[in-house]
Structure formats: C-alpha cells, structure tokens
Amino acid sequence: MSKLNLIRFVLVFVVATAIYACGEKEPDYHPKPTGFNRLDLPPHTYQSLKEDHPYTFEYSKAAIVQKDTFMNAEPHWIVLYYPTLNTRIQFTYKPVNNDPKRLQNMMGDAAKLAFHHDKKAYSIKDGILTTKSGKKAVVFELEGEVPSHYQFFVTDTTKHYLRGALYLMTATKNDSLRPVIDYMKADCRHILETLKWK
C-alpha cells in the first residue's frame, strides 16, 4: 500500500468513526438523588424534672431544661432543648383559677396557634389522647413544611393548664427529618404519660 493510499485509508477511517460516533445515542445519565444526612438518634432514656414548677414529668436525658426567654414568658414557662437534634419543646403553663371562661380562652388559643400553620401544613389532625393514668390531652399533629409538627395541651380543668409545642429549629426538608419528628413525638407522649400536677 502506497503512502498516499495509507493516508487516504486513515483519513476515511477517522471520518467514518467520527460520523458513527455522532450518530450513536448518548448513554442514559441519571443523577443520584439528593442524599440526606445520617441522623444518630439518642436512646429514649428519661429523668424526672427537678425544677420547682406546679407540674412534673419525665423528660429525655438528651434534653436540657431552659427558662423560656420569650419577652412575655411567665414564671413556669420552660423549654426542653435537644442540642444534638436542634429541636425544642416549649411549655407554657397557666393557672386556671377555677375559672371556666379563662380555661375556654386558653384552649381556644391553643387551637388557634396550631391552626395558624394551615398555610404550610397539608394536614392537621386533632384528637384526644388518654394516658394510662386517665389524664386526657388534646393533641394536634401537623404534616407539611411546618416548624411545629406536634402540639398538645392538658388540664385538670380547675387548677392547672399546660401547653406544649414541638419545634424543629432547622430548614431541612421534612422528609429527611421524619426520624427526628417521630422520635420527638414519642418523647412528647412520654411526657404526657408521666405528667403529674403538684
């Protein structure tokens, strides 16, 4: 084969290969779905609330009891802060003073605060939870991109009223936080089960 024929052969081969390659279908490319951070949940171990309040309950050893620093906070308002989960449960306590109208207003406010999230929540379920000791708590479970997924209040109707609200302090999508939400709901239910009035 002459040098000229060899050059022609190589040139035809390169052009044919390029034409064939351009006509080939590109391989399917599928990006990996966004991954979620791994969450290491602390064990469900509890301790008794030692602070001097008109109520007591068992709370997680993973939580720190803090005084509520909200501007209008009252003396027995506290926050359970979970530093490893960046969540908190805010408790607001009010005496009922044997005043049915006062109690009705407080219960109405609790419902308003729960349903305040209706713009972002795609589901709000309310119901009555009866504890093993016979106490009844009104519970609100919220689904959607809301900061508070679980709220409740409990009262003896004459002296004590306690409201709790679970807050996630992060903007991460709730799908990735489902284990944290479920973990915190279980802790809220344990608090209600062990709640005692003083």
DSSP three-state, residue 40: coil
Question: Is the whole-model pTM more than 0.85?
Answer: no
Residue-range domain boundaries for the chain:
46-197
Fold of 46-197: Protein Transport Mog1p; Chain A (3.40.1000)
Q: ∠ CA 55-77-156 to the nearest 5 degrees?
A: 40
- Per-residue model confidence as pLDDT tens digits over 121-163: 778 899 999 999 899 999 999 988 888 899 999 999 999 999 9
92: helix, coil or strand?
A: strand
pLDDT digits (tens, 9 = 90+) for 161-189: 999 999 998 765 656 788 999 999 999 99
Which residue, among 79, 58, 39, 33, has the nearest Cα to 196 in the 3D structure? 58
Q: pLDDT per residue over 95-125, tens digit each? A: 999 999 999 999 999 999 998 776 677 788 9
Instruction: Please name which of 2, 12, 73, 86 lies closest in space to residue 42, comparing C-alpha atoms.
Output: 86
Per-residue pLDDT tens over the stretch 1-13 = 665 555 665 555 5
